[in-house]
A and B are shown apart, each in its own frame.
Chain A
Amino acid sequence: MRGPVSMSNEEPIIVCQDVRRHYGQFEALRGVSLTIRKGEVVCIVGPSGSGKSTFLRTINGLEEIDGGNITVDGISLPGSRRETIEIRRRAGMVFQSFNLFPHMTVRRNVTLAPMRNQRLSRSDADKIAERLLARVHIGDQIDKYPEQLSGGQQQRVAIARALAMEPRVLMFDEPTSALDPEMVNEVLEVMRELSHSGITMLVVTHEMAFAREVADRIVFMADGNIVCDLPPSSFFSGANEPRVQQFLSKIR
């Protein structure tokens, strides 16, 4: 792997060492090491099937690892069920397909985790939901059900839901890939605002313009490995790396 591990001197929030994952004979992750420091915005890009999403999902234990270890905010994986739950509360996740709870209003989607995990009262949780939904510009939809909203609106609710646990890091798994083109920007705009707020973000994405603009580092993955980890300017000039150049030529 080429490039600096990190350019920041802040404390590390996520440390992955030699993370491995295979499905039968197929090696999805072949020893991935990555450190994310507080406040960094890191975009993971690469061709499909390169292991980007799998890697992201190992960080909060949605995907079990077969080798190596991961530390999130001081807690290690693999670990006990209790530790895994604690990691999930500190690492929020936004999915490609939103995965909102269809039987709950937008408000309940956002208040569920604070009420159950932190035992907040309904009124305290409601205040959090109102604040966060206003932050993702959807405060007026608070008592609707997810299916009454557009895809872009649903994804913004999902972002608010992930923020409700006050996570140390927010992870996005291709958050705009399932959206109609005209809704991509409203979600990216919210993510752009978040990135300026100082929250640590790890984003698997195909939105290259967004990555170039917002990321502190771009991590390029191929065949279950990290090929390079560079600032956007170096990455988009080709990184002296044939696989990166090939990838960039295809998406341009």
Chain B
Amino acid sequence: MTWDWAVFFGTFPLLGSALVTTLELVIASLVLASLIGVILCFGRLIGKGALGWLATAYVSMFRGLPETVLIFWIYYCGPFVFDARLSSFASGVLSLSLVAGAYMGEIFRAGVLAVPRGQYEAADALGLSKVHLVRDVAAPQAFRIMLPAIFSQVTILTKNSSIVSAIGVAELFYRGSTLAGDTFRYFEIFSAVGLVYFALIFPLSLLSQRLERTLAVTR
């Protein structure tokens, strides 16, 4: 097989709409996962009894399931359980969010717990209200602690989004597979697909490193 630069470069324009779908998947899942994460974090931090137990059970369950299984389960078994068929895109977002939400919850919780007790005491001793304590003292510090882990979770989410191709969501990997299947130009097309994923993720790592460095100085 000979490498054909024309096919390689010609692949990128064909991936345009698929790239948009991947971005939509990642952003929608990120928003939903963050919401789930916030609920879980507070459920585990302040939830007593059933609420705390539920949050803990959720985290254990969704951290212990392979995404692939979950995606197929929601897409194929969901209709029997909920009496409604979700679109493949919605099933994909839901599966990715449920799992990423479990990790986000733990990241948020670790961040909140990592703010030293003395910081809360100092804010209390100044007579700050709860709102100001959280907004001015706790949240900014917790956020700095969480930032690297959040970035790494976004990276994982972007990579994992390729799994939803299995239920026919026309995202990057799916589009690449169909193109390759039609043309048998696997070499050029999967190289192009890989490069697009890398181009999405690499700037994220750079940004993360950069933020870590600037925040370290002003901490």
Binding site for B on A (CB under 8 A): 60-62, 85-89, 92-93, 95, 97, 99-103, 112-113, 116-117, 145, 147, 161-162, 165
Contact = CB atoms under 8 A, between A and B. Distances in A.
Given A85-B129, A103-B218, A116 B118 contact: no
Nearest to A96: B118
Contacts of A93: 125
B218 A113 contact: no
A117 B218 CA distance: 25
Given A102-B141, A145-B218, 11 more contacts: A62-B124, A92-B125, A101-B137, A101-B141, A112-B128, A112-B136, A113-B127, A117-B126, A117-B127, A117-B129, A165-B127
B128 A117 contact: yes
Interface string B201-214: 00000000000000
B79 interface: no
A6 B118 CA distance: 33
B119 A99 contact: yes
Contacts of A89: 126-127
9 contacts: A60-B124, A61-B124, A62-B121, A88-B125, A95-B125, A103-B219, A112-B128, A112-B136, A162-B125
B123 to A, nearest CB: 8
Given A112-B136, A116-B129, A103 B144 contact: yes
A149 B133 CA distance: 24
A18 B23 CA distance: 64
A141 B3 CA distance: 63
B219 A145 contact: yes
A117 to B, nearest CB: 6
B219 A113 contact: no
A62 B136 CA distance: 19
Nearest to B133: A116
Interface residues of B, number: 21
Contacts of B140: 103
**In the A-B complex, the 4 residue pairs with the closest CB atoms:** A89-B127, A88-B127, A99-B122, A99-B118
Nearest to A103: B140
B219 A161 contact: no
Interface in B132-160: 132, 136-137, 140-141, 144
Nearest to B218: A145
B126 to A, nearest CB: 4
Nearest to B132: A116
A103 B141 contact: yes
Contacts of A60: 124-125
Given A113-B126, A113-B128, A102 B219 contact: yes
A241 B124 CA distance: 38
B182 to A, nearest CB: 54
A100 B218 contact: no
Nearest to A82: B129
A161 B217 CA distance: 22
B127 A97 contact: no
